[in-house]
Structure 1
């Protein structure tokens, strides 16, 4: 059943790629805001595939259709990317939207005569004196308009590189048979990484400030200076990007979510087994001040307490919190340690 569902999910990408191709065929960028039927959709959940009727202008212009594959891929990638409250927390978000911008650039260069009439002030680009800027201000450098932004990127001094992957629809050469080859050291390492244990954080929610959570095994006195790929005790980093404001609009999920770091390489380097008593330590750093928090300070924060589990991560992360006995963690409390 899982194989069938996964195959169907992967197959959806061809639909979304075709939507991008079809969007690039339009000669009109978008419908003016205020005209019945806005050029974008305002959907609450990124569940692919998004229904056509959610995009009223998908048959009229580029923006009307391009929003659909944009939304579809958010849901298709899943995880934080599929959640409006957390999508920008996923590291792939920046890379994904860089490509979204690149496809917009493809349309702009194909339509050099297009006119963008929106001249309203974009407040995020107005600077510290945004409250003083008006439409009649002579200081044009103090603000940016949509019309200024919708230009060929070469106008402001940068260009996009040639894509590594061929365009959608391009025939690829037949792949060479490789099933007879033995696993390389890198392949063996990747196979090891697919195993346990996992460091699981439950009830992860929004925070006001930004934090770095560095995880170690059997290194109770760990410090930020010991964060290194060469340190066999170091598992990895879990970043918590702060919102910078109090969530008074209900953008955070009340129940929170679960996130995990794979600790297989660390366990292998330390020759750890599920029956061993293993000490799990975390070092929480407040990013703005570079100050390391004490366990008493970070314990009340949502989703900062870690657990080491050896179970199937699909059951551990998606299901309820691990029960007692699923892992062996020492109970000695030291600064920076989670038990």
Structure 2
């Protein structure tokens, strides 16, 4: 579901003050969609009540959808008497009113919803027509293992990276032939429709060995990884608008041995995190924020720390597709751990679902 720019986007919401978890004036505004193939909910906490069906409510929804790049069926829900955590215990993230006003508000004007490429950049059209993946909730968008979005030019299969903001970066040497991803004429993988946790199918990049493909992009060009092992590389044409490290090309992250997700560590909701290889501290891809109180003692699998009453570990577990292994967060009993983040702190919580060991 895509939203066009609205005249209501300038709407700024006001907070009600910091209410406790069970106080009568606690409020929430939550939006649920699909992100990276999984159901994704973001909630604004302790704001004045806004009806999702009103013009102001539609504007808030549009901004959240654009900022967090949600796809699929979008649902909005608001109310009073409950906090975000109480209403949406499995929410991917909850944000403050200040974060919404400073960062999210206006996103549906400035964002092009990356899964559409540059074709919906605030109404500015492009001459590039992209191949549409029939049956995929992302339309023309194809995701790699870290959630970056790509498209293939319909006329010749040329591959482009969509970092957002209407930027379309040509990945020289990479192209599509049928469903096969080619590197200068050599097949290195393909595009397949994979089941999306939020329903429907999602077009994703796979390596020839069956693992999810990761594509890194910086100012020097592109490179790809399969099972954490580097493959080919090449040059780019056009701007990148940043890379998977939030635009900081000097930062490197820990690669997890035998994990098909490379640098990414997944939580119970399917959200991806990394660990800075220098500081060993947790980095949120959604927030593009590093948290200095959640740091590993080593560069490998093991104990992270004790947070919110939960002992947290990074271990290797069976991926949802059942064919590969990925690095995940777990408690001491192998129950999946969910992580919620705001702009200053992260929250850890065990779930009722257990990971399957590799």
Shorter-chain TM range is: under 0.3
Question: If you compute each CA radius of gyration, which structure gives the higher value, 1 or 2?
Answer: 1
| TM-score, scaled relative to structure 1 | 0.27
Could you tell me the TM-score, scaled by structure 2's length?
0.26
Question: Which of the two has greater strand per residue?
Answer: 2
Per chain length, whose mean CA-contact separation is higher, i.e. which structure has more relative contact order (CA < 8 Å, sep 6+)?
1
